[in-house]
Amino acid sequence: MLETIAVRFSVFLFPFLAASICVAAPKPPQQIDLSQFPADTIENVVVPVPSEIFAVLDKLGNPNWRTELGPKNTYAATADRAQIALLLGTVIADGFVAVEAEDSERVKEIGRNVLTLAEAINVRKSVVSRSNSIIEKADRREWNAVRREFDGALHDVNQAMVELNDGQLAQLVSLGGWLRGTEALTSIVQQKYSRDRAELLYQPLLLDYFSQQLAEMGSRLRRYRLVGEVEEAVGRMGPLIKKSSSNDITPETVAEINAITAKMVQRIRAKAG
Amino acid sequence: MKRYALRFFSVGLPVALAALFFVTSPAFAYVNDALSFAYEAANPYAQQGWLIREDAWGGDLGAGDKKAVTAQLFRGNRYMFFLATDVETASLRVNIYDSEGKLAESKSWQRGRFAFAEVRPRATGTYYAIVEVLSSPEERTGWALVYGFRQ
């Protein structure tokens, strides 16, 4: 009896206790003028991790990811550091596709390939444990955990490069991943077009961000032809996305973006296959 | 203003959350502390299945100052933003607005040195997390913002 009273009392009391430690913030304005935030009061963009997109896609049905895996290839490092960085991004993105396809053998191969490419740009140490973890978890078919490891691998590589004062090279890893991810995403959307699926491509902020990063890239990286080609590809995609609103990206626009990204990924992978 | 890629090791957090603040200069120590608190705020949510991003934003603001943080959010996900400061008696808030400046969050609240906002985007696109120091005994108040998402 006493216990029941205590339980009821605590249930009754809980909202008041909660209210005493957790209060609603002062009511925010329903509308703000974003122009009151000049550039120096706006923070840089954090590029979404692929899992954010895959989480939505999961809800929109079961796409055929196996068709997106492409040929089984292991990519070797070349002498072109920009190419290796872009390539590493595409290979990590391949990892996500292989996870979606639940192909553990492919995931493991990709995990090893990530290590080879990371070594070529001096960030092997930072991804060794991720790579091992990817292989172990793929063996156990723990797909959500493998996704998180690939998210983390992208982050670790970027972080390591920034620490090596190679922040711009890190941007190329992100770009490579984004290009390959967008290629796979547009292909999936094309398989079974719907406005909901196409809406995932509405990323004007990221296009502006990548364009700006490429425009500010130093001469050391600009001498690589691929960097110019990526800049041009991103430049062509911007107007395609921005002419649309989030819920009216047409099948034609999806196809155009797919063609641009597929060609770019092919260029990045040329000579490295 | 820089975006700080941050790294922090916390006993209670999954390995995926581990991030170490690479800016080791003492001038950024308070941001580092603020980040620890931001992850502390996020920790219970990570245990409930929220995926907390390893990237974070941080800086310092004077009382009454605001900062806009841009983010690409996807309709279909839920997002939670965790804001914290190292100044125990400071009061902050974070609110989420869409690209037209309309309040987009479903709820926001404060708890001591922490502030939270949850948003279920009505459309995929650009959103702004407005970080604000409402009051603080310090001239400059360090802050850090992390976010998590789930389906």
What DSSP string runs through A8-21?
A: HHHHHHHHHHHHHH
Which residue among A23, A152, A203 sits closest to B72, beta carbon to beta carbon? A203
Q: What is the CATH number of the domain that holds B65?
A: 2.60.120.380
Asked if residue B31 belongs to a domain, the reply is yes
Q: What is the pLDDT of residue A42?
A: 62
Q: Residue B18 pLDDT more than 70?
A: no
Q: Is B85 on the interface with A (CB under 8 A)?
A: no
A127 CB neighbours in chain B (<8 A) are none
Q: What is the pLDDT of residue B8?
A: 31
Asked if residue B58 belongs to a domain, the reply is yes
pLDDT band at B125 (very low <50, low <70, confident <90, very high): very high
Q: What is the pLDDT of residue A222?
A: 85
Asked if residue B134 belongs to a domain, the reply is yes
Asked if residue B122 belongs to a domain, the reply is yes
Nearest residue on chain B to A159, alpha-carbon basis: B5
Which residue among B109, B110, B128 sits closest to A34, beta carbon to beta carbon? B128
ipTM score assigned to the predicted complex: 0.82
The DSSP annotation for B10-49 comes to -TTS-GGG--B-----GGGHHHHHHHHHHHHHHHHHHHTT
CA distance A39 to A53: 28
Q: What is the pLDDT of residue B1?
A: 42
Asked if residue B8 belongs to a domain, the reply is no
Asked if residue A104 belongs to a domain, the reply is yes
Asked if residue B124 belongs to a domain, the reply is yes
* Segments in chain A below pLDDT 50: 1-20
Q: Which domain holds residue A214?
A: 77-269
Overall number of domains in chain B: 1
pLDDT in tens, B70-113: 999 999 999 999 999 999 999 999 999 999 999 999 899 988 89
Asked if residue B10 belongs to a domain, the reply is no
Q: Which domain holds residue B132?
A: 15-150
Q: Residue B11 pLDDT more than 70?
A: no
8 Å CB contact between A186 and A43: no
Task: Collect all residues with Cβ–Cβ distance below 8 Å to A84 and sequence separation of at least 6.
Answer: A77, A78, A117, A120, A121
Q: What is the pLDDT of residue A156?
A: 86
Q: What is the pLDDT of residue B147?
A: 94
Tokens of B79: 């997002």
Overall number of domains in chain A: 1
Q: Residue B33 pLDDT more than 70?
A: yes
Confidence (pTM): 0.82
Asked if residue B5 belongs to a domain, the reply is no
* Mutation for B interface: A43, A96, A134, most B CBs within 10 A: A43
Q: Mapping DSSP to helix (H, G, I), strand (E, B) and coil, where does residue A177 land? A: helix
